[in-house]
Amino acid sequence: MKKFLIALLSVGALLSGAAVAELENPGGIGGLESLRGNSELEATRPADEFKDFPKDQIVASSYVYQPPLIPHSIRNYEVSLNANKCLACHSWKNSKESGATKISVTHYVNREDAVLADVSPRRYFCLQCHVPQTDAKPLVKNEFESVDSLQ
């Protein structure tokens, strides 16, 4: 089946005037530029540098129910199936002692609306919703306006 599909693609490429050589690079960039830049998919490039965190200011929320931004570095924080470094400071049990913001009560409710003694499994991986605040340049053009600015 695989040989048949390759033969069919080759015939299609010949009929369209494309060179067969293009079919030999199925993972190529195809003439598109992505957020990774103009590089082959197989190529590994160095990771971007970490952005600086504005430590002297808290970035305000832009919309209702926006998950709060993290105002500190999370480098080397483990948030995995076995450990969650965020809970060391932000759980209800530890927040008073650490001075950190408490986790919302919504994080202790499961999908059946039962209140749990510990953080709900669906809210355990904090970095799915909460991200560190930074003054980095946006990767793509963004024309977002907060609701307050539209009045």
Average confidence (pLDDT) over 22-49: 65
Which long-range CB contacts under 8 A does 135-140 form with residues at least 24 apart? 135/51, 135/52, 135/54, 136/51, 139/35, 140/35
Kindly report, residue by residue over 122-150, the tens digit of the pLDDT.
999 999 999 888 877 778 888 887 767 66
Residue 15's pLDDT is 55
**CA 123 to chain centroid:** 15
- Domains belonging to the chain, first-starting first, are 1-47 (no CATH), 51-136 (1.10.1130.10)
Is the pLDDT at 77 greater than 80? The verdict is yes
Beta-carbon-side half-sphere exposure of residue 22 (alpha carbons within 13 Å): 13
Output the pTM of the full model.
0.60
